[in-house]
Structures are given as structure tokens and as C-alpha cells.
Structure 1
């Protein structure tokens, strides 16, 4: 509760004592030092700060501590002007602040506000000292007052005499409730703040609280005649850290601009009035040594004393930085002895550095990079090496840290690739060649990538130093090159070399960079998959997919899951393939630039599954989403996956010629892929059969064997359609009946055998095989095999109980009879896909009720943007693009 009445009546306001005294030096008191500063027309009253200042009535000491231009003085003046108790205001300047002069001015400030000390207090007569009697008597009189006096000392940081601090603390302590002291300062006052803080007798308002919020900044700009959206104000606050002077000066300049919003977004701090203010109020107040330190550390985003010393070649950074922080000189403490400059101050100092010390900036970046590299700060090492145009240093740091995999994966891979894109051809070291090779191979430029890789390997072979990290980086790139050329022997050799080199590399580097092993194994698994070594590929890829998660291994995990989905599809497990593909899509659908190698395999598998289920529009939409893949991609598995998914869709739509053209992946490889070759042969054979050329169709199928189960049963179907029953059954018999083959194999095989039995007139066998096929297909919703079976199947599906097994899911299908429909069969068991969060499920339920985005937001008490974010996540997880598709898909999966 306040010690003062709410507001004094005008008749109760004391008459101000005339200022007719002189200070101990005989100089007249300067009246302006006792006057409350006038607030400009553009001053913005901030209620939250005024409310906080009201607590000054309840504590002996209040501290307003912030940098120059933070708005401390105007805040205190506006607040003090509204108070009814005596408010003694005293501003300090660059004059004489010895104890006698200080206390003479304090006493005169008390007289000026109508709370004059008695004659018993007396007046200091010596500028350098003040008697204890004066201080004791003053404290005693203040303590005896009915109500306290509010004493505001502005720019108290100019008072540096420790004796004054001791005397002020003495008076404050013994004045009791008769004095409330408010200090406005840029520095920490020499008072025992910890004691006041410990007993709750200190009110503090510091820089963070003084900073303007975006809403306050927008209001301040409006007072200056500059009207901008809150977002533009928020951007300005981010740049100025809410610094009051910076906002006001920027507003004044923006007012003269034809496009204020653009000016506030792009203004050059070093050529503005902000620069004049900071240079005059902050930089020029410092000693020559401190100015040199500030100019040099301006090239850094953050720094510690040891790093600052490395840039100055001195050893005094620690006390200088501590003083700058204490003085609120726009040097901010980050913790653990690290600091940063205020963003605007850093911009201005950096420009000033180029004028004061031209040509020094690259050398400062180089010194910083070397220090940061020694102390294990890789990202900053790379940034400063690039700024110094020292690419040997940058690439060497990347390779020595075993971080070359970060060019391919991780949240900063795109930024890292952008950084090295500025590296010129003049940088010629093994490390720079490795970085070039990584860049080119990641963009599937084999010619240039292999040339750089070979050059690096030649230089490393002639180097006797321990360069295990560089050689392990070579092994990773060799594995990638082997993957892009489809060469299993080369990838296995690279893996063996990497296994040996791992024993020579420090364990902490391997633990620090799990992405290198994950990338290497992904390249091995992809190459083995291309070669048709499915089980070997699955074992390697499972190691990557099951590895602990983390941003650094997101890309290889996504690729591994996409490849495993393809393996499941090629073995006939469409449901399992869909689940893995959805997981891969969920991994890759995250903020950041799209990757090239391996991306899109998940959607290709989903598209192929959609074709098997006769969801052709969905398949087309999924393939359209892969259109962003780089043209002419040389990754064999990706190219072959896109080729067979596209060809299958075209065949389902009856576009046989286009399907044949799409089936060729057109990627040269050292080893032919049995499954890719078989898929291409199937499309070509089907086109010949559709064109009335059964002999040519059968000839093309010679390359297909039982080692590729899905391909073998489709080839058997074509052979049977070409009236080669014996060849068809031989193909089916050649398939190894193992657990690794799924429903897509068993369903198609049953249909082929059923057709052969139909030709032989064995109706019982036909119906037995069709019953089993329908049961297996219903679980996976495999419609396409029945639609492609031909006219022979229609009479059989029209009979009970086959009609009942087909009803409810094998629709629309022309093979089904139009007679009396039987009772619908039970819905198929739900397929487990990526789980929706509770909130996503809430949103999806309301979408199903035809609620708009705004209605959903209101119903769930969410923002519209949050609802949109949840919808995007639902679309991604269900692999759809629209609301209706999401609802239908969720109902199919029994999620609604």
C-alpha cells in the first residue's frame, strides 16, 4: 500500500523555495538540473512500466538500469509528474561530482520540491567532503517526516566517487520510511544491492523490461506519423531489440521515406541517425583500447574474453568486457563468459571498422576461425573461414571434424552447401576436393564428382600424416558413387575400407557424427537392392531405419524407410509397404529445402500401391508430388521406382504406348537390376499382348524368373493370356514359396491358376482359388488384379459365396453382376498407418462434419493458423491433398 494520499489538492502543494543558493565552489545552482525533463509529443506512456514504478512507494530503493536511449529518464519523469508527494529531481552532468558538491545539490533539490531541510542540517562548504553531522541530521529529519520524500537521481552513473555511495547508503538507511530513492543509471551503482534485494526492499526495472514490445513499437511509430502492420513493427523490434532510441530515430527517418515499411525493413544502420547516436553516446565515451576491442569483436556474433584477445593480440579483454556489460554499453552477457553486441551496434561498428582499420576484417575472421577451430566450434569456424575467403581452412575443419556428411543431411545441410557454393577453383587441397566431390555427387554429377574425389585420394596417398578422417570421408563418397553407378563390388569395397578406418578415427568423432555411418549404410543398402540382393539390402537398411532418431540422421532414415517400403512392395506386401512409405513421407515432409538423392521413393511406392487398389487419381497425385525431383537423376533405384510406378498407372488407364516409354529408367548402371529389368519387360510384354502380338510378348518375358516373385506371377498371367499355359505354370512353380512373399504374389498366382483351371473346366478348383484370392485381397484392398483378370472371371464372381466376398470393397468393378446384391461383407480389418495426434484427430472429426476452418478454430479454441497446421499434418500422414480425400481415407482405415 502506498504511503501517500492518492492526490494532493492544489492548496496543499507547497510553495517551491527560490533557488538563490550557491554550491561549495561558489557557483550558482543550475536550475535546469532540478526540473523534470519535458516529454516530447511522441512520448508513449507504457502502463506496464508505470505500474511497476508504483512499487517504488513500497521499497526504499528503486533502480532504473539500462543503456543510453532506453527511455529511462522519460519514463521516470512522466511517472514522477503524476505523483502528489514531494518529488525531488536531480540530474547529473559531466561537472564536478565531489561529495560536497553532490550533497549541496541534493539539499537544494529537496528545497526546490518543497521539502526543505531545516537550518540545523546546514550546507556543505567544502567541495571535497561533507561532514557526518550534515548527513546524520538530514537522515533524522527525513525519518521524522509524516510522509516520505521521493528523490530521483538521474544519470547517476556519472557519480563515481565511492565515498558518495557510502554516504548515500547511510542516509537512505537511517531516513527510514521518510525517503524513497530512485536511481536512473546506465551502470550498476556502488550500493549493497544484494542486501536490499534479499529482504525485498529493491524495485528494479532493467533493459529487458524497458525494451518495447512489437505492439508498443507499432503505437510509437504511429505517434511519429508512421503507420505499419504489427509484423513490420515486430521485425524492427527484432533488429533493435526494442531499444527506445533506435525505434524513435528509425521512425523519424522512415517518416521522410516514400515507403516507410520498406525503409524500416531495409535501412542501413551505419548510415542512419542511429549510428550517430551510438557512436557519440557509446563508442566515443570509451578509452582507445576499449574502442579497438569493440571494433574488432564486431565481426563476431558472440565472443568470450579469450576469443576477443585472439583478435586484439592483447590480454585485457576480460575486464574490458565486464566493464562494458556493467555500463550497459550494448554488450550483452550470454552466460558462461560469452557476450554479444546489440545487433544495431554490431552493424554500425562493423562499418566503422572498415573505415578506421581498412583491410583488417578478413584477417580478423581468419583469427576467429583458427581460435574457434581449436576450441571445437565447427559451425562458427566455417562461417568465419568463408568470410575470410580461406576455403582450405573451412574445408579442412569440416573434413577433420568428420562432418562431411552434414553436406547431405541435418537441419543445416542446405546452409552448409550454400556456404561452400562460394568456394572458387583456386582452393586446391584434399579437403576442398572432397567438398567439391560431395557437392557434385549430391547433385548426381558423376563426372565432376569422381574427378574431384580421385584428385583428393591421390593427394592423400602421398601424405604421411594421420588423415583417417579424410580417408573415411573418401570411403563415404566412394559408396555414394557406387550407388549412383549401381556397382555392388565398389560399394562393398568402400564399406570394408570404412570399417577399417573407423578403428583409426577418434571415438568421440564417430559418436558426434552418426550421420556418416547412416549415410554409408544407406548407400550400401540401396546398391544391394538395385542388384536384387533383397535380404542383404533389408538387413543393412533396417540398421539405419532402427537407429536412434535425431536431426542429423533424418535424411538417411527417410531413405532407408523408403527403400524398405520398396522391398516390401517387390515382395508382395502392399500393406506393409504402405505403412513404411507413409513413415518415410512423414520424415521427409518437414521444413527445409528438398533433398535430391533418394527423396520421393516413399511417394512412388504409395503410388504403386494406389494403382494396385485401383485408386488411380490418388496414384497420379502422388506421382505429381515427385515432379520436383531433379531432371536426369542418376540414382538407379529412384529412377527405376518412378519408372515402374508411372508405367503401372499408364497401363491401368490403357495407355500402353506411353507405359512402354515410361518403363525405361534410362539410367546407366554397372550391374543390371533383375527387378528393374523384369518390370520393364512386363510392361513391354503387356503392350505386345494388347497389340495382338502374343509371340513377341512371350519372347520378352524370358528375362523374368521366379527370383522376382511379383514380376514372375505377372509374367505368368501374360503367358496364360497368350495361351501358353505350360509356361505360365512353370513360372509359378519356380517361385520360392517362402514367408517373404505377400498377398500381392499369392492373389495374382491364385488368379493365374484359377484361369488355367477355368480353361480346363475344373470349376471347383476355380472357386476354391478365387475364394482364397478374395480373402487375401480384401485384407490389402487389392482390386487391380481382379480388374485385369479378364472376362472369364465375371460368371464366377456373380455366384454365391464369391459375390458376398467381393461385395463392399471390390467396387466399382465391371466384372461384378448387376443383379440382386447380397448382404455387404464385413469391412476389412483396419490398416495401421502413421498415428494422428489427439488434436489432429479432433480436427479431422470436425472436417468430416463439414465444418469450416474458422468454425473448427472456434470450436477447439485454437487459432485459424494452428488449425491449418494440423490439417497439413493430417494430409501428409494420410498422403492426400484435400479435405474430402482425407475423410474418405480415414474412413477406409477405420479412423473415423
Structure 2
């Protein structure tokens, strides 16, 4: 055999041995290996595949015209010099058994040595056209001493039933030494399925025969083409490795002036290519199929229903399958082979013919395709066809109906260059086009660039009185109202990008939402209502109106889901998770997080159906599909929601880790000189003060961490949560430092941040016993109460969070009656529903106050209500924040075996392990290292054994045990045995 490892483009020799003389009357060309007239390169990859295939009884080489089937097989035989092979070139005129079998016998005789040739000579006197001849042929072939390969070229031309029946006999009963190779532009009309299932048949198709990039380079070089790698790659992609396409490219290249030879100019409408494709592909087809190819060449790829929409016929799927089966440079693509792609050169040739012969049909065909794509929800394809047809009204209609979903999901990148190609005067004349172009500018974060486009979209609307007004109806009015919905949400998005939300902006959006309930908005346009509600929610967040934002997001969620606006749907779930977590509705927050999956880049969802018959363009998305790539990664909103959940359940280390992940490192963590290195025990993170780095970075990270540039800068709130954790860990100084840094860094959310920070400052002052200072802060807060934190404000009074903070301060000052009066509005059933956190906090203040006033029964009732409300969401931190008096209530007032026994026990445990004031905050990464002896002593601390008994049990002296205890207290940062037990439980040194 030849050297398969050689990479040099040396040519295959033209002949292996001189052909023996043939008997008079036979056509040498029928039984002789074809001699190439052009350079033929060795293809070791395919030679090896053919050699392996020839180990099976039958090989089928089924490929389209011009793929080099004949030359490949001939060169393989010349390369494998030890292979005994017989060759028969068949054509449609040979469909006569006596002719075919005569060629086969003569070809085999030439391939064999003298002894085997004598065996075959016995067939010379037989009746080659007789029905029993195939059996006599098998008897003779079975007596051959050496295996032989019989190649039948152009086997797809075999149609005579007698000939096919004879070949079927050979297939069923052929001896092991006979290997059959059928080559052609289609499968031979023989029963091959059984052989394929049995593993006795090998297939090679057009994809196998296509040249690789390297083979294309060598072939072009053999043809004398001088081209760089970029040109070779370009022509290789255009021809898809089609051998004849590469040959045509070489001929075209040589025909160009020497100074203008660039393979980039080689296309399917060149006369050389057009002539070949016309002769070999188009002309052999029936007239209806030719018309079909011309009508459907404008789209890529094409399916049966799309083809029917363009041709007006109903047999598109069958026609495409037949073209694929006949290897007419049409190939099935994707799962199920419902979609079909025309070879690039064929598509260019057909487009050229269509424009030359039927130029008036092209716009109509493109518009038909655009409408089909739009109905199937494939917006990019629809817009592409409509723009190519220069039908701006249709383009606007498609974008008006479907563009919102595409842009909302961040999938508009493909549409941007298409929209940019539309003349400005046509954009100005179509409101939907102007709105779509405004979407593009807003997606690019350019609110000022969207201004002129938004004005154009708004000017095309009727006056407000006609926009879906009560009593008005009709398609024009409803369409005008849908445009109003869209421009209103675009205006809100523009305002959010600018970071300047005015009350009229939100009022206008809410008025339109209210009108949507009575305006007769169709079910398939409810997504526009959901989009407006989403942006009303984001705008309310900018204003700090959290309850109003939550209400708007709740209004949006179902409509966004049903309308396929999944990016905004996921963002809505994230916002609802955060808002619920801040209210203390932790179960609802977790449900919202889990509804979007454990991670935003979770596994790909199931493929949906699309189009009337379930077809989908590979790579094109359809309504209802949650496509990969548009789902953002873990977001700042999700991290904050998760951190808030962990914080309210008193899992401080987990909450801290989530906040640290949200801010990210400010400098190289591996730099030993980094002052914020968390592993450095001498650094600022461990000296009793807050690490300045993360707090200072909040303002820098807020915009980078947001998933959407129109989101409010939630990074401003990170410092408040960090300060809360530091406070709960007992590091009051670090908490104050963090709050100061957060206030300084706060930007456009400064009022919201300032109020949250002020409430925490009240809590810290109360904890320190500085109740007068806390009262002064509360007085200032009450004077300027805003609804950003803790429920509604207004005629009913300040937010409930402020009332709870006031009640706790009064309790700390010893004014139980005043505390009870302060939280009384929170317990009023007629008051607007407060946050569960505030309601539980108020109940705990009331319970503590009642007990101090000697009213044991009301205290128990309030505590039972608090337990019932908190257990549902497992609210732990609010009990710890209420003070140690609540622990006494849990111990004395609530029965251990009551309805909330498990939750009560968990709360008592958390009270026991909660950090005491004065403990320094220690990051979770800082491990406390104990010796084996110290660990042994630590294990005895929860017992009731004395130091002497511990020493006796461990076989140590009492002084040694006392020394270990002093070291333990120092390492744990405590001063008593009880505190040591609590601290060890908190950091999992005791379990």
C-alpha cells in the first residue's frame, strides 16, 4: 500500500498496470479504471476509510455530483496496489441484464490472475440475460482463490427490475471473497437495510468526501492557485469542501487578470459555476422542482412549511427530502432533519437565476417568508426577509408585534445592523420602526441617543383621549394603546438609565397600567403590559418605594413569563426575592430564587416546538423558549437576596461570604503587601476595625455588579448589610466605620441608604445603652420618614420599622408603657399590612413590655403570635435583636411541649451561641488553632464537671487544666466558661 502518512501533495499515478486486451465488442471504458485528466491528490484519510469499509460485504459511496466519487475510488485502487479490484462504469443505457453481467464478468476476468480468469471463462457460454445467471455467477465467484472487490460506478442509474433482482440475489448469497462497492448520486434501489443493521454495509456520504481545509489547500496548490490561508479558508467555506467547487474556483482564478486574482470574488453566479450547476443539478430536475428551487433559495435554511408558504404548494417537505436523498447539493440539518440547507454556491446560483429570469418575484417571496417566520416567532429571520424586500411597513409590523421580546431578552444584536440599514425617512414614517431603533439605543446604554427616536414613536400615536379610552374600540384604537404601552415602558427605561426618576414618570406609567385593565388588550399583547409593569417596578426601586415596586413586579411576572420575555422575567423573580427577603418573607424569597433555578446559567431547557409543524431553525429561538446565552450569571440582586435570607436566619458567615462575593476583591489577593488581605492576622480586617477596602469599593462596584445598567445601584446597600453583620458579631466599632464609609460612598440611592443606616445606628446606640442618643436619632428620622424602609408612611404615621426601633429604645430606657404605645400601630389590624419582620419585632416589644408591666397573659399571647408568624419563614435574627428579655419569655411563658416547641428550642440555642457585645468580628476564613490538650479540655466545658474532676478524668494536674482554660479564653476572645461554650458552638469547635 501507499504511504498514508505522507502530507506532500504528490499526484496519484495514472495507471497501476497496463490493461489487458479486451475481447472484440467490449467497451474498454466500461471495465477499465478511469484515467484522470486533472491532478488528483492522494487522500490517505479516505483511502483508510475505504480500506476499512471493504472489509464488509457491501460499501455504498453515496454523494452529490462533483464530489469526486469516481476519481476517489480509482485513486484508492491505484494506491492499494495489493487490492484485486474489478471496475464497471454503469449508465442508464446499460439497464439490460445481458449487458451488465457481461461487463461484470469481463471486469472480474481482467482483475484476476490466469487461474481465476479461467474459472470465470466458464461463464462465457452462459445466457447472461437468463434469470438463473446470477446463481451461476455466484458459483463461479465462489471458486476464486483470492478475494476481489467489484466496484459499480453510477449505481443509482440501475433501474431494470430483472437486473435489480439479480443483484439482490448476489447480495443475499454472495461468497465471503466478493466485496461490492456501489457508487452514485443516490442509494441503489436495493434492499440494503438488513445489511446495514447486521453491520455488513458501510456508508460514505458527501460529508465524508468533502475536502478538509488542508486538502483544499493542497488541491488548489496542485491546480496552480497561489492563495494565502485566508483566501483558501474563504473558498473552502464557500464550497463546503466540494471537490468540483474547488476545481471551478481554480479555473475561475486562472481566468482572472494576474493583478486581480482574489478568491473572495468567487461566487455561485460566475458563468463557470452557473454552467456546471445548471447542467448537473438544475436541468435534470422536473419543471416543478426547478421552480421550487428558485422560489426557496432566498432563505437559509428552509423547512417544508416555509417552502409551502413561499411556493403556494403543499409538498415542500417531500420535495426537500427527495432533493436531499438525490444529493442535489441540498442537505438536512439539525435534529430530525426537518430543516434543509442549500450549498452556498447552489444558493447563489439559484438567486442569480431568479433575479435574471423573474426579478419581480423576489420581493413577494421574501415577504411571504417574513410572514411565516413572524408567525413562527422567529423574529430575526422575519426582519431579515422584510428588510431585504425593503417592505418597511411589514418590517414595522413584525417589530411592533415581536420586537419587544427580542430586545427585552437581549437578543437584538442581529437586528441592529438590519435596522441601521433602513433609511432615516422610513424610520420616521413608521412608529414601530422608531420604537425598535429606540430599543437598540437603550440596549446600548444610550438614553440620549434614544430621545429623538422616542419622540418619533410618540408623535405617531393619536392623542391620549383616543388611546384605548373607555368606550372606544376597534383594531386601530387597540393598536394605538399597545404603542402607548411600549413607548411608556421605553420612557421609564430611559429615565432609569439616566438615574433620574420623577414622580410624573411613575404616575404616568401606573395610569397606563390601570387603563390596560379596561382597554381590551389582547391576550397575545399582555407581554407589553408586563413589560411596562416591570419598568414601573424598577422606577419605584429608584425612588425607594419598595412596597410599590413589589406590587408592580407581581403584576408583571405572569405576563412576562407567558409572553416569553424571560430575561425580564428572571430579573423580576430576583427583585421579588430581594424585596420579600427584606420584608422577612423568606419562604417567598426562596421560592422566587428557586423558580429561576439554582443558578441563572443552569442547564439548557427542553427544546420547544415552533411553527405549524414544530419546525425550528437551528440556532433561532421561538416564543416560550428559555434559550441559553440570554440567562445572566449569578447577579448582585440574587446575592443580596440570598444574603438577606441568611442574615435573618442568623447565618452570619454565609451572609458575609455572599456579600464579599458581590463586592469582589479590590486588589491582588496573593499580594503579601495587600493591606486588605483577609489572611493577614495583622491587617485591618482583624484589628477590631472594619476593613476599609470593601466598604470603600462599594461605589466603584455598584455599576459593575448590576446585571442591567438601568438597575438602581444596589451596591450602595452592601455596606449597610455588612455593617449589620459586623454589629451582630459584636464589633460595634467596625459596624460604625462601615456605616460611615457607606454613607460617604452612596450615590443616587443616598436617601434610601441614609435611612437604613440611620436605623442601624439607632440599634447600635440602643445596644450600647446610649438611649438618649438613639432617641435623638429617631426624632430626626420621624421628622423626615420616607416609605423606603419598613412599610407605608403618610397619614398613618412613620414606617413600621421606625416604630419598632422606637419601641426597642424605650424598652432599653425602662419605659415599658411607652414602648407598648410606640408599637401599638404595628399591631392594629386596620393598618396597612406591615413587613413580617416589623410585625414580629413589634409583637416581641409588646410581649416584653407586657411582662415587665406584670401582664403575663397578654405577654404570652403576643409571644405566641410572634412565634407563629416567624416560624413560617424561620425568622431567627429578629428574636435575637429583641434582646435577652425575649429569651426569658421563651423559657418562662412558652411551654416546652407547645405548638412551636422545635422553633422555640432552636431560638434558645441561638441565644446561647449568639456573640456577646465586645467580641471582635472574625472572618470565617480565620481558623482558631487549638492544641490536642486544649481541644480535650474544651470538650468537657459543656458538662457540669469541675476543674478538679476534668483534671482527674484527663489524668492532668488542676494547674494544667487551668492553664489550658486561660489559653482557650484568650484564643476564643471570651472571659467566662459560658461564653467559651457559646463561642465554640458558634464557630463549630463544639458540635
Confirm or deny: 8 A CA contact 2:34 2:71 kept in the other structure: no
Aligned with 2:659 (options 619, 634, 643): 619
* 1:121-160 → structure 2 map (5 Å cutoff): 134-135=129-130, 138-139=133-134, 141-145=136-140, 146-147=142-143, 152-156=150-154, 160=157
Q: What's the counterpart of residue 499 of structure 1?
A: 517
Change (3 A) 1:23 1:117: farther
2:640 match = 604
Please state if 1:810 is matched with 2:915. Answer: yes
CA pair 299-572 structure 1, distance change in 2 beyond 3 A? same
Map of 1:187 onto structure 2: 185
Tell me whether 1:821 sits opposite 2:978 in the alignment. yes
Paired position in structure 2 for 1:407: 407
Q: Deviations over 1:293-335 (max 9, x none)?
A: 7687554212357866987999999998676434313212469
- Change over 3 Å in CA distance of 1:308–1:320 after alignment to 2: same
How large is the Cα RMSD of the aligned pairs? 6.8
Q: Is the 8 A contact 2:154 2:183 kept in 1?
A: yes
Q: Residues 370-409 of structure 1 correspond to what in structure 2 (within 5 A)?
A: 370-374=368-372, 376-377=375-376, 378-379=378-379, 380-387=381-388, 390-400=391-401, 404-409=404-409
Q: Is 2:62 aligned against 1:65? A: yes
The 5-angstrom pairing of residues 162-177 of structure 1 reads 162=159, 165-172=160-167, 177=173
1:330 aligns with 2:329: yes
Q: Is the 8 A contact 2:586 2:645 kept in 1?
A: yes
- In 1, are the aligned partners of 2:537 and 2:548 still within 8 Å (CA)? yes
C-alpha change, 1:550 and 1:153, in structure 2 (3 Å) is farther
Q: Deviations over 1:779-809 (max 9, x none)?
A: 54539985x99xx99x999x99999753334
2:711 paired with 1:628: no
Structure 2 distance, partners of 1:305, 1:473, is 34
Quick one: distance in 2 between partners of 1:311 and 1:803? 74
Q: Residue deviations 1:378-433, cap 9 Å, x none?
A: 43212323455655432311324x552332138x4555567546655332302212
Deviations 1:830-887 (A, max 9, x none): xxxxxxxxxxxxxxxxxxxxxxxxxxxxxxxxxxxxxxxxxxxxxxxxxxxxxxxxxx
Shift of residue 112 of structure 1? 0.9
1:454 aligns with 2:530: no
1:23 aligns with 2:41: no
- Distance in 1, matches of 2:214 and 2:438, equals 54
- Counterpart of 1:874 in structure 2 is none
Structure 2 matches for 1:398-547, cutoff 5 A?
398-400=399-401, 404-409=404-409, 412=411, 415=414, 420=419, 425-426=424-425, 427-428=427-428, 429-439=430-440, 443=445, 445=447, 447=451, 450-458=454-462, 466=476, 468-469=478-479, 471-479=481-489, 481=491, 485=501, 489-502=507-520, 505=522, 509=524, 515-516=527-528, 518-523=530-535, 541-542=553-554
Quick check: 1:699 aligned with 2:804? no
Q: In the TM superposition, what is the alpha-carbon distance from 1:142 to its structure 2 partner?
A: 1.0
> How many angstroms does 1:22 deviate by?
3.5
Contact 2:109–2:120 (8 Å) recurs in 1: no
Instruction: Tell me the alpha carbon deviations over residues 435-472 of structure 1, each in whole angstroms, 9 at most, x when there is no partner.
Output: 23444566583845752441232399699864735632
Cα gap change, 1:470 to 1:399, in 2 (>3 Å) = farther
> How far does the alpha carbon of each residue in 1:168-216 deviate from its partner, in whole angstroms, 9 at most, with x for none?
325435667468683533333673548987998984625278468xxx9
Is the contact between residue 59 and residue 201 of structure 2 (CA under 8 Å) also seen in structure 1? yes
- Counterpart CA distance in 2 for 1:535 and 1:559 is 17
In structure 2, the CA distance between the partners of 1:703 and 1:279, relative to structure 1 (3 Å rule), is same
8 Å contact kept, 1:604–1:623: no
Q: Distance in 2 between matches of 1:632 and 1:142?
A: 77
1:509-531 Cα offsets, whole Å, 9 max, x none, are 46xxx744543554466667788
Q: CA 1:366 to 1:160, structure 2 compared with 1: closer, same or farther past 3 Å?
A: same
Map of 1:850 onto structure 2: none
Change (3 A) 1:31 1:559: closer
Alpha-carbon separation, structure 2, partners of 1:53 and 1:824: 79
After the TM superposition, which of the residue ranges 620-629 and 724-733 deviates more from structure 2?
A: 724-733
Is the CA contact 1:63–1:202 (under 8 Å) kept in the aligned structure 2? no
* CA distance in 1 between partners of 2:31 and 2:359 (Å): 47
Distance 1:772 1:307 in 2: 64
Name the structure 1 match of 2:340: 340
Per the alignment, residue 108 of structure 1 pairs with 106
- 1:658-669 to 2 correspondences below 5 Å: 658-663=741-746, 665=748
> Judging changes above 3 Å, is the alpha-carbon distance between structure 1 residues 294 and 197 closer, same or farther for their aligned structure 2 residues?
same
User: Which TM-score applies when normalising by structure 1?
Assistant: 0.62
Does structure 2 retain, via aligned residues, the 8 Å contact 1:545–1:557? yes
Q: CA deviation at 1:336?
A: 10
* TM-score with structure 2 setting the length: 0.57
SS in 2 for 1:821: helix
Superposed counterparts of 1:743-758, under 5 Å: 743=837, 746-747=840-841
- The whole-number CA distance in structure 2 between the counterparts of 1:369 and 1:587 is 41
Q: Which runs of 5+ in 1 are unaligned?
A: 1-14, 124-130, 227-231, 253-266, 668-672, 830-887
1:302 is matched with 301
Quick one: distance in 2 between partners of 1:193 and 1:110?
Answer: 24
Provide the residue aligned with 1:654 in structure 2: 737
Cα distance change on mapping 1:719 and 1:360 into 2, 3 Å: farther
Question: In 2, Cα distance between the equivalents of 1:543 and 1:766?
Answer: 39
SS of corresponding position for 2:436: helix
Alpha carbons of structure 1 residues 529 and 173: separation in structure 2 relative to 1, 3 Å: closer
Given candidates 556, 560, 568, the residue that maps to 2:572 is 560
The corresponding residue for 2:44 is 43
Q: Distance in 2 between matches of 1:138 and 1:29?
A: 20
Residue-by-residue CA offset, 1:608-642 (whole Å, 9 max, x unaligned):
5567755546424325575436799555xx34x55
Kindly state the Cα deviation for residue 818 of structure 1 after the two structures are TM-superposed.
2.0
Bigger drift between 699-708 and 765-774 goes to 765-774
How far residue 43 of structure 1 moved from its aligned partner, in angstroms, is: 1.4
Cα offset, 1:660, TM superposition: 2.9
**SS of the residue aligned with 1:562?**
helix
Given the superposition, is the C-alpha separation of residues 204 and 356 from structure 1 closer, same or farther in structure 2, using an over 3 Å criterion? same
Give, in whole Å, the separation in 2 of the partners of 1:525 and 1:732: 30
Task: Encode CA deviations 1:110-143: one digit per residue, 9 max, x unaligned.
Answer: 33123468778669xxxxxxx9765558545314
SS at match of 2:877: coil
User: Equivalents in 2 of 1:433, 1:87: separation in Å?
Assistant: 70
Shift, 1:540, TM fit: 6.3
Residue 646 of structure 1 contacts residue 662 of structure 1 at CA under 8 Å; is this kept in 2?
Answer: no
Q: Residue 712 and residue 200 in structure 1: after superposition, are their counterparts in 2 closer, same or farther (change >3 A)? A: same
Pick closer, same or farther for the CA change 1:554–1:811 going to 2, 3 Å: farther
Query: Aligned pair in 2 of structure 1 residues 113, 361: CA closer, same or farther (>3 Å)?
Result: same
CA contact (8 A) 2:292 2:311 kept: yes
Aligned length: 751
Question: How far, CA to CA, are the matches of 2:512 and 2:474 in structure 1?
Answer: 21
Give the 3 Å change call, closer, same or farther, for CA 683–201 of structure 1 in structure 2: closer
Distance in 2, Cα, partners of 1:631 & 1:323 = 49
1:154 and 1:194, CA in 2 relative to 1: closer, same or farther beyond 3 A? closer
Spell out the pairing of 1:232-271 with structure 2 (5 A cutoff).
245=243, 271=266
Q: Match for residue 89 of structure 1?
A: 87
Any idea what SS the aligned residue of 2:55 has?
A: helix
Q: Unaligned stretches of 5+ in structure 2?
A: 1-16, 222-229, 251-261, 468-472, 603-627, 665-700, 725-734, 786-792, 893-904, 921-972
